[in-house]
Amino acid sequence: MIDVLIVGAGPNGLMLACELALAGVHPVVLERHATPTGEPRANGVVGQVVRLLDRRDLYTRLSAESTPPSPQPAFTFGAFPLDLTMLAENPHYVLGVPQAQLEATLAARAAELGVDLRRGHEVVDLRQRPDVVEVCLADGTQLTARFLVGADGGRSAVRRLAGIDFPGVTYDRSVSRTATVTVPASFLDPDTGALRVPGHGVVPPFLHTRTERGLIAWAPFPGRPAILSTTEWPDVPTSDENPMSLAELRASVARVLGADVPLGEPDGPGPGLLRRLNGQNTRIAARYRAGRVLLVGDAAHVHPAIGGPGLNLGLQDAANLGWKLAATVRGWAPQGLLDTYETERRPVAERVVMSTQAQSALIGPGDEITGLRELFAELLRTPEVTGHIAALMSGADIHYPADPADPLAGRSAPDVVVDGDHGPVRLAELTRTARPLLLDSTGVYAEVAAPWRDRVDIVTGALRGTTATALLVRPDCFVAWSAGDADTLRASLTHHFGLPG
């Protein structure tokens, strides 16, 4: 009997597998591709999930940096530059790492944790019984699991086989083209990496540039091929019959900028990125759970990629679901804990959808949009508006349902440092095991939580980086409780982590 069967070995499925393994549940992961595809997809991780990766000891592996992540001084929203240096507290983090590298790192970590990853296996049917899910593979193999999780993308077979609707909208009025390219050295600013285009001017790096004819983005990543992309709104839909070519992208660039940019094949081994997308989808699954079947990541929600929120959303889905599903499998989950996965994560997906739809509107063509952009540019000169947008983009505004009298409960845990008997320790060093954690500067609350020691780690010492004298931190690094009294702590421990062992 398999405890948890995960379908899909992308970042979300692998992250969930690691979370389950850290919690003492060893899942089986099925991937229909026999080998990693290596297909260029996402180019980085954006938002608060960078802090989560640090708190699982994955940030150093991905970045090769020995220091903790630092907020990004600038970003973009709807083709507007965001000056984040004006903020007293900047919540926006960026980790520039290709998705293939992220997947490889997560796969290596899953192997270290004993996860059973089986490639070349495709799910073609499933049937639920009261206590198990029976899964049929394309080769006729039958598998039985206590729970099944679909992490198999926007065209999820698990979602379809479970009978979960995927309502939303599909727009066909835009065409996006993206490729890895080289450009002549004369077109590059040696100091900034910007494109200098005769007849147009400067196209800054790592930002979106809007014209009345479309959108262009230039990303000269250090140590790997540069990526150039455009978005247009043609009067006549573009056919998908012919594959995308560099000549097609070059023609699109000329239309958007009103000037020509010579494009060449990327340096180094392939496969290079060469992709055309007609239209875009915005959909959220009608349910995140149907009995013993759950959905995570793109299987639960799809949206435009503008602003790069997809991995921030999906990986934090996995962190939220992992400890709750493990608690259910291991038998100590309080009643209804697993259902809070959807009640907490669906509103986050809805906000991401709202954000990407708003950005899609702001980059569109037309004089009315240009007028709207002039007003929006004025608003973004104020720290209040920029801070609100930065919190939305990064996911720092997430506030799960919690005791309204507790100002920290339901929010991401601050980057606390604990001064204990063995010197200062960062919260990120204490959360690598993905166990619930009580931080106590008084010693009083540690005694209250002692009956939960089988599932809650207790650390005492002075706390820096928070005004609270104690914090109860969930495995997904959100605050469950901040110092009230002994009774409220017992209630929170029971509510989140069940009755004492």
pLDDT per position as a tens digit, 119-152: 999 999 999 999 999 999 999 999 999 999 999 9
Whether the pLDDT of residue 381 is over 90: the answer is yes
User: Once rounded to an integer, what is the mean pLDDT over residues 351-375?
Assistant: 94
Q: Which residue has the tokens 């193999």?
A: 141
Together in a domain, 339 and 194: no
Together in a domain, 426 and 345: no
Q: Is residue 229 part of a domain?
A: yes
Together in a domain, 146 and 191: no
- Of the ranges 7-16, 152-161, 217-226, 473-482, which one carries the lowest mean pLDDT score? 217-226
pLDDT at position 483: 78
Together in a domain, 292 and 276: no
C-alpha–C-alpha distance, residues 232 and 230, integer Å: 7
360 in Cβ contact with 306 (< 8 Å): yes
Give per-residue pLDDT as tens, 72-102.
999 999 999 999 999 999 999 999 998 999 9
Q: Is residue 400 part of a domain?
A: no
Residues in the chain: 501
Q: Is residue 226 part of a domain?
A: yes
Together in a domain, 343 and 434: no
472 in Cβ contact with 489 (< 8 Å): yes
Together in a domain, 154 and 174: no
Whether the pLDDT of residue 6 is over 90: the answer is yes
Tell me the whole-structure pTM to 2 decimals: 0.95
Q: Is residue 404 part of a domain?
A: no
C-alpha–C-alpha distance, residues 408 and 59, integer Å: 25
Cα dist. 278→42, 139, 232 in Å? Answer: 18, 34, 10
Q: Is residue 405 part of a domain?
A: no
Q: Is residue 406 part of a domain?
A: no
Q: Is residue 399 part of a domain?
A: no
pLDDT at position 273: 86
50 in Cβ contact with 44 (< 8 Å): no
Give per-residue pLDDT as tens, 291-333.
999 999 999 999 998 988 989 999 999 999 999 999 999 999 9
* Average pLDDT along the chain: 94
Give per-residue pLDDT as tens, 394-412.
999 999 999 888 999 999 9
Together in a domain, 292 and 256: no
User: With bands split at pLDDT 50, 70 and 90, how would you rate the model's confidence at 223?
Assistant: confident
Together in a domain, 69 and 152: yes
User: Once rounded to an integer, what is the mean pLDDT over residues 355-373?
Assistant: 93
Whether the pLDDT of residue 270 is over 70: the answer is no
Looking at the structure of the chain, the number of domains it has is 3
pLDDT at position 387: 97
Q: Which of 329, 364, 394 is the last residue of a domain?
A: 394
Provide the strand spans (E) within 430-469: 437-440, 457-460, 462-464
H or E, element range at 342 = helix 340-362
Instruction: List the domain range (segments joined by +) for residue 354.
Output: 2-75+84-168+282-394
Together in a domain, 30 and 158: yes
Q: pLDDT > 90: what percent of the chain? A: 86
Q: Residue 418 in 3-state DSSP?
A: strand
CATH assignment of the domain containing 470: 3.40.30.120
Q: Residue 392 in 3-state DSSP?
A: helix
Q: pLDDT > 70: what percent of the chain? A: 99
pLDDT at position 279: 85
User: Once rounded to an integer, what is the mean pLDDT over residues 427-431?
Assistant: 97
C-alpha–C-alpha distance, residues 105 and 437, integer Å: 26
Q: Which of 394, 425, 444 is the last residue of a domain?
A: 394
Q: Is residue 352 part of a domain?
A: yes
User: Once rounded to an integer, what is the mean pLDDT over residues 475-481?
Assistant: 98
CATH assignment of the domain containing 228: 3.30.70.2450
73 in Cβ contact with 85 (< 8 Å): yes
C-alpha–C-alpha distance, residues 15 and 461, integer Å: 31
